[in-house]
Amino acid sequence: MKRVDDFRLRLGKHELVPIMIGGMGVDISTADLALEAARLGGVGHISDAMINTVSDRRYETRHVKEKLALYKYNVNNEDKSAVKFDLGRVEEATRLHVEATMRRKQGDGLVFINCMEKLTMNAPRETLKVRMEAALDAGIDGITLAAGLHLGSFGLIEEHPRFRDAKLGIIVSSVRALQLFLKKSARTGRLPDYVVVEGPLAGGHLGFGMDWAQYDLATIVAEVMHYLREEKLDLPVIPAGGIFTGTDAVQFLEMGAGGIQVATRFTVAEECGLPTEAKQAYFKATEDDIEVNQISPTGYPMRMIKSSPGIGSGIRPNCEAYGYLLDASGKCSYVAAYNREVAAHPEARKIKVMDKTCLCTHMRNFDIWTCGQLTWRLKDTTNVLADGSYQVPSAEHIFKDYQFSIDQQLALPPAVAA
Ligand SMILES: Cc1cc2nc3c(=O)[nH]c(=O)nc-3n(C[C@H](O)[C@H](O)[C@H](O)COP(=O)(O)O)c2cc1C
């Protein structure tokens, strides 16, 4: 019986343990978590979601305060088109985060950064280009293009000196999305180094509609592999979404996958950025507590725990401070939903907004608990402590459980006193 450790992920000259920990914004996949994956010979991701906010928290910059001070005059204005990011600060924040991470890297693995296209920042092309180029300048091993089709993303960085040597990958949820990406990127004469195929059970935003349950990861992976074989493209395919045990992973590796990408199991790791309260909520969640809804202003369905404190909250939009989801014309569907509710309840001191959420503020505060579909199984992966709470395992424990387990077994972490 094979284990994950019997396989290797080949990316250029690198031979890796074929386990990638997926990017989880906003700083849920911390540098500490990504660095553990690299130390253990796999691939970890940091994320550049809300990078200025992360930089203020971790590297003592004051980007958010400065931006708010600059645009305070606009707070009551429904039109947010004037609220722009300073590209120099986006560059600085990305560089600080990547440099601080890469400086601490040990082991033979790699650290990549997850770059979401849907983080449009009121100037989609300009901000994405700066984010990717700054990450390359600061020495990131690779970039995973996420949350969007990224039809122009290779073109944005093709002049960068590291365009051909850094590892570049794309996340897709269908053959069609991959075909489009390859067609539009062909002009740059560069193929992606890996393709993550994310199925409908993943956490975060989904590359499916509300009919996500009709789809199945293994089928999409087989379709992608078939297409790549027909095109004679030898690219590692990395399935993601609902791979909960080493045995689940081996099934994909035996199909010919180059590696697997996982996240949910690591949301409750010590090194994960979620606060303790959220980790315990993930452990406690039952299957019925998990939903896919459409409250994210990105327009993509998102999976989350129904009791996330941010759901239904009618806080005032905070675009002057954050504004990471403002589209190319300065619009966010939460701003519109909030203003609609204020107009409908002029006397109310506190309003509720049910159809959209202020994702920037709530992700910053860890109040939207996005999660994978199999979060309800996390309770089976650890010990219950004397006070009734769940023991938080180390990332190393979880990583090695994926790497070495057989027979659908889940190794519990060594028990500790409460
Ligand atoms: C809490 C959480 C946050 C996530 N955030 C992101 C993100 O910011 N960008 C992204 O591309 N994927 C994101 N994902 C998806 C993961 O990177 C990964 O591909 C997927 O969740 C793997 O499936 P699994 O969670 O069932 O293992 C997130 C997943 C979780 C659980």
Helices (H), 203-299: 217-230, 246-255, 276-284
Q: Is 371 in the pocket of ligand 1 (CB under 6 A)?
A: yes
Q: Is 347 exposed, middle or buried (0-12, 13-18, 19+ CB in 10 A)?
A: exposed
Query: Helix (H) and strand (E) counts for the chain?
Result: 13, 13
Class of domain 4-404: alpha beta
Q: Which atom of ligand 1 is nearest to the CA of 22?
A: 17
- What pLDDT score does 312 carry? 96
Q: Is 119 in the pocket of ligand 1 (CB under 6 A)?
A: no
Distance 292 CA to ligand 1 centre (A): 14
Distance 339 CA to ligand 1 centre (A): 31
Q: Is 411 exposed, middle or buried (0-12, 13-18, 19+ CB in 10 A)?
A: middle
Q: Is 414 exposed, middle or buried (0-12, 13-18, 19+ CB in 10 A)?
A: exposed
Distance 371 CA to ligand 1 centre (A): 7
Q: Is 200 in the pocket of ligand 1 (CB under 6 A)?
A: no
14 near 7, Cβ under 8 Å? no
**Rounded-to-integer distance, Cα 179 and Cα 227, Å:** 9
Q: Which residues pair with residue 317 across a beta bridge?
A: none
The dihedral through the CA atoms of 30, 36, 38, 39 has a sign that is positive
**Rounded-to-integer distance, Cα 403 and Cα 42, Å:** 10
- What pLDDT score does 416 carry? 83
Rg over CA atoms, the chain: 21
Q: Is 267 in the pocket of ligand 1 (CB under 6 A)?
A: yes
Pocket perturbation via mutation, ligand 1, pick of 206, 264, 367 by most ligand atoms within 8 A of CB: 264
Q: Is 54 in the pocket of ligand 1 (CB under 6 A)?
A: no
CA 126 to chain CA centroid, nearest Å: 21
Distance 362 CA to ligand 1 centre (A): 17
User: Quick one: the chain helix, strand, coil %, rounded to 5?
Assistant: 40, 15, 45
For residue 190, give the nearest of 170, 220, 176 by alpha carbon.
170
The dihedral through the CA atoms of 189, 194, 200, 202 has a sign that is negative
- What pLDDT score does 418 carry? 53
For residue 4, give the nearest of 398, 364, 348 by alpha carbon.
398
Low-confidence residues of the chain: pLDDT under 70: 417-418
Residue bearing the CA closest to ligand 1, atom 7: 24
Distance 402 CA to ligand 1 centre (A): 17
Q: Is 28 in the pocket of ligand 1 (CB under 6 A)?
A: yes
- What pLDDT score does 377 carry? 98
CA triplet 165, 168, 174: central angle to 5 degrees?
Answer: 155
**Residues 6 or more apart whose Cβ sits within 8 Å of residue 232:** none
114 near 47, Cβ under 8 Å? yes
324 three-state secondary structure: coil
Q: Is 146 in the pocket of ligand 1 (CB under 6 A)?
A: yes
Distance 341 CA to ligand 1 centre (A): 31
274 token code pair: 């979620």
50: left (phi over 0), alpha (psi -120 to 50) or beta: left
